[in-house]
Each structure stands twice: as structure tokens, then as C-alpha cells.
A and B are shown apart, each in its own frame.
Chain A
């Protein structure tokens, strides 16, 4: 158990809908990263938050957004869902930004299926 929690574990929805994925980092971790794992794209970085502020964006669609709250939990919002958004979404957390001090620990993931 990495100490990172993600809810829900599974999510099935229809095209055009909006969903929210939730992540609670390990106790004391300030950094939260979101990654998407799909069959065609592999594991791709989406976005990074550090202590409530957006730090970096990766290959994140405009239909997707995220935020990190004062209690450090994070939410990834996916809207106007398309079939291609079906994937496993991971959240990872770390104490600091620089991996010199620690690695990223991953949550169990949320499997999103868009029908």
C-alpha cells in the first residue's frame, strides 16, 4: 500500500458526460501528479500540483482540468467525455518536487470506461 488513495476505483459513464476523480496524497506529501495510462498512448503525464498551485502541464486536453485543495487532496475533472478518454488514471504524490529527495508514489488508479 503506497499510502496514496484514489476514488472511485472504477467509473463507467457515457460520452458527453463529466466525471471527477479524487486523489488523497500520502500524509505530508505536497506534490500531486496525474497520469493517464491508455493502450495507445501508454503512461502520459497530465498535470502537476505543488502545495495548491499548478506547477506544470503535460499532455492534458482542454476538456480536462484539475485542482489541489488546501488539505492537499486533488481532483481531476474530465468533461465532454469521448470514447478515447477511456483509460486508467493514476495519481502520484511526493514530499518535494525534486526527485533527489524522494520518488513518486502511485495510487491504485481509477479505471474510467466511456461507453
Chain B
């Protein structure tokens, strides 16, 4: 079963618009970690943010912010005032403690295109 679902396949916006990426996860663990990674056209995977399951405080880091809600198993990510350089595929990932290997289970990714 898919542990991480990113329902949005593609999002296209005009520069300076905000972009919100949805992520829904599934786990039986009480302790787990959630991540967002970015994959620009060059292909590398770039770490963006990490959240622990026991800390639901939502934060803002520069133009990035996230909304973590355990009650709905969602970990949404927002880019404020998008820029062309934000064009990339964004992956949400889950790491479960009880699996004892801490591997990352990735969603299918959301392709974000920011037009000038």
C-alpha cells in the first residue's frame, strides 16, 4: 500500500503566486518523520524540510512553510511568492521508526512549473 500520497501530479503557476503542495501519509507508528525534497531539472534531490511526529508546530522558513496535521495525516508544503527557480518536482517522504531501517518512503511527486 502506498504510504505517501501526493494527489497533485502537476501544478502550474505564474511567478509570485503561492503554491501549496498536498501530502497525505499513512502509518501505524506513533513516532515518525516527514520530509520534503526538491528535484530540479538537473536531477539531484535536495532536502528542504523535516518534521517530527511529536511536534505539530507549523513553521515558516523564508518562502517555505508547512502545515502538519496529525489528525488528518497531512503534511502540506507552501511556497510563497513563487519564482521560476522553484520549478521542480517536489517529493514528500515518510520515515517510520518502528520499521527499524528509517528508509524514506516517497510519494509520486508533484511537478511544479512557475512561469515568468
Contact = CB atoms under 8 A, between A and B. Distances in A.
Interface residues of A, number: 26
Contact of A88 (B37, B43, B50, B106): B43
A106 B45 contact: yes
Interface stretch (B70-78, B80-88, B97-105): B97-105
Interface in A44-63: 44-45, 48, 55-56, 58
B9 to A, nearest CB: 12
Contacts of B35: 99, 103
Main secondary structure of the interface of A (DSSP, over half): strand
A98 B44 contact: no
Nearest to A57: B101
Interface residues of B, number: 24
Interface in B39-62: 43-47, 50, 52
B108 interface: yes
B44 A99 contact: no
B44 A2 contact: yes
B95 A58 contact: no
Contacts of A115: none
Contacts of B46: 2, 106
A2 B39 CA distance: 13
B43 A33 contact: no
Contact of A33 (B44, B97, B103): B103
Contacts of A100: 33, 52
A45 B103 contact: yes
Contact of A108 (B43, B102, B104, B105): B43
Contacts of A48: 101-103
A45 B50 CA distance: 18
Contacts of B47: 2, 103-106
A6 B97 CA distance: 27
Contacts of B100: 56
A112 to B, nearest CB: 13
Interface of B: 33, 35, 37, 43-47, 50, 52, 91, 95, 97, 99-109
8 contacts: A2-B44, A33-B103, A42-B107, A42-B108, A44-B106, A97-B101, A99-B33, A106-B47
